[in-house]
Structure 1
Amino acid sequence: MVLSHRGETRRSTHPVARRTREQVLALAPDEATRDAGLALASEHAWAEAGHAGPGAAWGVCGGDGVPCRTAVDTDGSSYTCSCTGGSSPCGHVLGLLLLLSSGALVPEGAQEPPWVLRWLADRRARGVTAPEDPAAAVSARRAAARRAERRAERVTGGAQELDRRLTDLLRGGLATTDRPDYGLWEETAARMIDAQAPGIAGRVRELSSVAASGSGWPARLLEECALLHLLDSAWLGLGRLPAPLAATVRARVGLTASAEGPAVRDRWLVLAQHDAPEGRIVTRRIWLYGRESGRTALLLSYGSPGRAPAQALPVGAVVDAEVTPYPGGGGLRVALGTRFGEPLVTTAPPPGGTTADAVAAYGKALRDDPWLDAWPATLRDVIPVPSADGWQLAGRTDGSALPVVPSALSRPGLWKLVALSGGGPLTVFGECGHRGFDPLAAWCPEVAGSAGPGAAVALT
């Protein structure tokens, strides 16, 4: 069960992605509430805590006074608390959401207690029988605007500090950054978290591994520092940017946004699904291709420490569903909405192009998002062949080729790809970027004993 923004209950048609720790802390209206939430992000602070699967979570926070009853939905879009604190959300709500994001609350068939059910019923009844109070709505919008303004000020302060640190780094030289005890990156990343800019913090943390990346690392570090400087400069000049680019900058900085715009219904082919660790969180990326619209879309979901993300779709299946796009990011990311029927398995691969087409598409996408590491692409009639530096995907007709990214060389999927090809051409979907091509799924040209294209094979 999931709560809508008005508090009505509705049955979820698909799993709800939880907020990460950074996203929960970004909800704090002020530093005091943020600190209170961190202090309450412990199982010992709660009694009768529970979680009813993809829906409501609740708990009773004890203390010397009257216990506070708190309930939230899993993505934090609606909540209630019996405390008398003046902030919204309060520290109890933040603490419960942090506990949820850490994976400490496991559903295991839990049922909402009576007081949670009464709150849900009351909210549902008020949503049906009583119109929204205009004065309360205006007050809520003003409060939200003040919170957004305060957060923007913190991010701006963090961007200005980052700019100064990068300037000092370049003045002093890069030679000292490969020392094992070099602590600038982790310290700066922590400062960016304090500034409520988790996207910048993540990019800063990635710089710590560049110095250990082998020959030529100073040039690569300089490139990454330049991109980081471009991002903080873009934030500081956000008001002068076109709306689509400004939305991309907000997303790269780490400001959360809701899916918006008209829903797109299509028969979506599931191209690939792969997981990647990001700190203690696991991010799942599911790529879709619309059979009628010709659009490629990305679903993101997150798993708490030790648990895989709940959202999963079978590679090679076709799902009749609606999706709603998020702003920025080249228009790739979407939220999965209503599904119509069960997924159907298909053996028809998506249309594709040459390796030159993939590189051109990535270059075009960089104009809208200079921080883009890769762009989705489907290659037709390519053959995996060994090269001096590893492997590459060579076009059968035009002779062009793309190197396989180094990270894919250690995955078993590469050998699946080689075995599937057998020296012949096939269709491969993956991500094309400045490091090369990362193959994620492939379609064999034929299945033994039958004609026509074969089923999709996941390479992750």
Structure 2
Amino acid sequence: MTQQGVRWTADQVLALAPDAASREAAGRLATAGPWSEVGSTDGGTMWGVCRGGGGGPYRTVVDVADASGPACTCGCPSLRYPCKHALGLLLLWAGGDGAVPEGEPPAWAERWLTGRREDAEAAAGAETAETGAAETGAAGAEAAGAEAAGAEAAAGAAGDPSGSVSRTRDPVAARRRAERRAERITAGATELEQRLADLLRGGLAEAEQTGYAWWEETAARMVDAQAPGLASRVRELGSTASSGPDWPVRLLEECALLHLLDQGWLRRDRLPQDLAATVRTRVGLPATADGPAVRDQWLILAQYDSVDARLTTRRVWLYGTETGRTALLLSYGAAGRAPELTLPVGLSLDAELSTYPGGGRRRAALGKRFAPPAPVEIRPKGVTPSQALARYGRALRDDPWLESVPVTLEQVVPVPDGDSWQLADASGGTALPLAPAFGNRAGLWRLVALSGGVPVQVFGECGHRGFTPLTAWPAGPGQAVSLT
């Protein structure tokens, strides 16, 4: 929007204002009277202290020199971004009448500017590392949050907590960066709590009137706070409003889960270790596979991709034939490219896996492989539909934001249920509805044809939207059939 050394116009400044009230208030602050300690650099950075009627003075710093876009910080409690003080200072500088003289920034302004530069360098290094990992098919970290921004992929695709691998050589600097990021996330979570409270205080009907722009602006604030997992969930809220029958119920449920995540972060020091690790991952902090390496014959249960504009995410489910554990591998490919990690469904892999922290510890990193994938006659142990639901309920205690759990259903038959389908227990009793999205896939008809009215064994993901079949085995001897 601006080049270094080029002074902005008033129209350019006012275009940043979040609303008309902010523009009006900024105009009243665009005079020298309320300001002291003002100054600027020729590169487009300015600072000043503004007298405030609500308990100021407020220290304000604005930086319009960075190629990533303008940024600001202010000591005022406003929830608007930019606040009226930042806009007023920008207008004062844009006037060009010497009211904001050039000089060296004071220590309090320099601290913020230095932190911004370091964060930009860390983000650039993380983006380079992420792109390289995607192009080589290396296993990525779980995002934005991930099931969030998977959002599972987005939550942690940045790499290690220090921002890049090379920076881990200086543990003191890495710790400072981690502390600064934690402070930013805390500020973002606090602001998000206030925004949710304002939304609910005004009534959910107001969410239908505000449109998607309000949600996108809130998500952008969470990105600024370096909490991509929170940003991803806010965007999901925006898509829930006015999304069909009973949308207020769904919106209220998602707001409650987001509030729970906010509170989990703000009180993370009081949580059990595994739950605290889950919260950190959900808000968007990266993690490393620190669990001990476990060698097993891993049955490859399922493999499927999800695609967005930036990334292709591949999920591979494995089952340890000796340990009985189910593990998830994630890998990534740049937009338009499939990840290189490919494991044929139905074969087994003699390899080591290391788990990531968090409740359930299902996500893992693939370590040393001792042999190529080979055929195996073993199938995973199955449960009934009622036991699958109970398993999902128990998993929610460890991770309340969990969308689904991996489950193998034993002896079930696909049967129609009105306009949808369900998997019914062959011995009678309970049934699980199929997730609505699966009803439109060709995999449904492969499953129906494989069963032919006879009970089959089905592996898939069981969650609050229903059961999504991924792989099935015939009643008698036979190979696994992928349904994805």
TM-score, normalization by structure 1 = 0.71
User: Partner of 1:275 in structure 2?
Assistant: 305
Structure 1 residue 216 corresponds to structure 2 residue 246: yes
Q: Is the 8 A contact 2:353 2:364 kept in 1?
A: yes
User: Partner of 2:36 in structure 1?
Assistant: none
Give the letter aligned to residue 375 of structure 1.
V
User: Partner of 2:481 in structure 1?
Assistant: 457
User: Partner of 1:356 in structure 2?
Assistant: 386
1:343-393 deviation digits (Å, cap 9, x = unpaired):
002343211010011001000000111111101100010000000240000
Inter-CA distance 106–36: structure 2 relative to 1 (3 Å threshold):
farther
Q: Is the 8 A contact 1:347 1:456 kept in 2?
A: no
1:318-351 deviation digits (Å, cap 9, x = unpaired):
0000000100041100000000111002343211
Instruction: Find the partner of 2:270 among 220, 232, 240.
Output: 240
User: Partner of 1:24 in structure 2?
Assistant: none
Q: Is the 8 A contact 1:101 1:304 kept in 2?
A: no
Instruction: Find the partner of 1:98 among 100, 115, 127.
Output: 127
Partner Cα separation in structure 2 for residue 297 and residue 105 of structure 1: 21
1:105-130 deviation digits (Å, cap 9, x = unpaired):
978xxxxxxxxxxxxxxxxxxxxxxx
Partner Cα separation in structure 2 for residue 180 and residue 155 of structure 1: 25
Q: Is the 8 A contact 2:134 2:332 kept in 1?
A: no
Identity of aligned residues (%): 58
User: Partner of 1:115 in structure 2?
Assistant: none
Inter-CA distance 279–201: structure 2 relative to 1 (3 Å threshold):
farther
Partner Cα separation in structure 2 for residue 88 and residue 383 of structure 1: 59
Q: CA deviation at 1:181?
A: 3.7
Q: CA deviation at 1:154?
A: 0.4
User: Partner of 1:177 in structure 2?
Assistant: 207
User: Partner of 2:86 in structure 1?
Assistant: none
Q: Is the 8 A contact 2:321 2:378 kept in 1?
A: no
Partner Cα separation in structure 2 for residue 86 and residue 179 of structure 1: 38
1:7-41 deviation digits (Å, cap 9, x = unpaired):
xxxxxxxxxxxxxxxxxxxxxxxx999x96859xx
Structure 1 residue 304 corresponds to structure 2 residue 334: yes
Structure 1 residue 291 corresponds to structure 2 residue 291: no
**Residues matched between the structures, number:** 350
Partner Cα separation in structure 1 for residue 194 and residue 474 of structure 2: 53
Partner Cα separation in structure 1 for residue 314 and residue 186 of structure 2: 30
Correspondence list, 1:296-375, <5 A: 296-375=326-405
Q: Is the 8 A contact 1:301 1:311 kept in 2?
A: yes
Give the letter aligned to residue 149 of structure 1.
E
Please give the secondary structure, in 2, of the residue aligned with 1:331. coil
Partner Cα separation in structure 2 for residue 105 and residue 167 of structure 1: 39
Structure 1 residue 259 corresponds to structure 2 residue 283: no
Correspondence list, 1:14-413, <5 A: 94-95=123-124, 98=127, 101=130, 140-179=170-209, 181-278=211-308, 280-413=310-443
Inter-CA distance 264–394: structure 2 relative to 1 (3 Å threshold):
same
Please give the secondary structure, in 2, of the residue aligned with 1:441. strand
Q: Is the 8 A contact 1:358 1:377 kept in 2?
A: yes
Q: Is the 8 A contact 1:324 1:337 kept in 2?
A: yes
Inter-CA distance 219–279: structure 2 relative to 1 (3 Å threshold):
farther
Please give the secondary structure, in 2, of the residue aligned with 1:330. coil
Q: CA deviation at 1:282?
A: 2.1
1:144-190 deviation digits (Å, cap 9, x = unpaired):
11111000000001000100000000011111323484312111111
Partner Cα separation in structure 2 for residue 104 and residue 261 of structure 1: 21
User: Partner of 2:42 in structure 1?
Assistant: none
Partner Cα separation in structure 2 for residue 300 and residue 280 of structure 1: 16
Please give the secondary structure, in 2, of the residue aligned with 1:286. strand
Q: Is the 8 A contact 1:352 1:380 kept in 2?
A: yes
Partner Cα separation in structure 2 for residue 238 and residue 442 of structure 1: 40
Inter-CA distance 371–138: structure 2 relative to 1 (3 Å threshold):
closer
Q: Is the 8 A contact 1:319 1:344 kept in 2?
A: yes
Give the letter aligned to residue 456 of structure 1.
A
Q: Is the 8 A contact 2:309 2:335 kept in 1?
A: no
Please give the secondary structure, in 1, of the residue aligned with 2:196. helix
Partner Cα separation in structure 2 for residue 168 and residue 86 of structure 1: 31
User: Partner of 1:49 in structure 2?
Assistant: none
Partner Cα separation in structure 1 for residue 429 and residue 369 of structure 2: 42
Please give the secondary structure, in 2, of the residue aligned with 1:293. coil
Partner Cα separation in structure 2 for residue 414 and residue 37 of structure 1: 49
Give the letter aligned to residue 315 of structure 2.
R
Q: CA deviation at 1:101?
A: 4.5
Partner Cα separation in structure 1 for residue 460 and residue 169 of structure 2: 47
Of the two, which has the highest radius of gyration? 2
Q: CA deviation at 1:213?
A: 3.2
1:54-94 deviation digits (Å, cap 9, x = unpaired):
xxxxxxxxxxxxxxxxxxxxxxxxxxxxxxx9999796775
Q: Is the 8 A contact 1:286 1:298 kept in 2?
A: yes
Q: Is the 8 A contact 2:199 2:206 kept in 1?
A: no
Give the letter aligned to residue 331 of structure 2.
S
Please give the secondary structure, in 1, of the residue aligned with 2:344. coil
Partner Cα separation in structure 1 for residue 243 and residue 115 of structure 2: 49
Q: Tell me which moved more, 183-192 or 86-95.
A: 86-95
TM-score, normalization by structure 2 = 0.67
Partner Cα separation in structure 1 for residue 228 and residue 420 of structure 2: 35
Inter-CA distance 373–235: structure 2 relative to 1 (3 Å threshold):
same
Partner Cα separation in structure 2 for residue 104 and residue 274 of structure 1: 19
Q: Tell me which moved more, 301-310 or 251-260.
A: 301-310
Give the letter aligned to residue 163 of structure 1.
E
Partner Cα separation in structure 2 for residue 372 and residue 163 of structure 1: 21
Q: Is the 8 A contact 1:268 1:321 kept in 2?
A: yes
1:407-426 deviation digits (Å, cap 9, x = unpaired):
11111111111111111110
Partner Cα separation in structure 2 for residue 244 and residue 153 of structure 1: 21
Q: Is the 8 A contact 2:241 2:248 kept in 1?
A: yes
Inter-CA distance 385–444: structure 2 relative to 1 (3 Å threshold):
same
Q: Is the 8 A contact 1:392 1:402 kept in 2?
A: yes
Correspondence list, 1:418-437, <5 A: 418-437=448-467
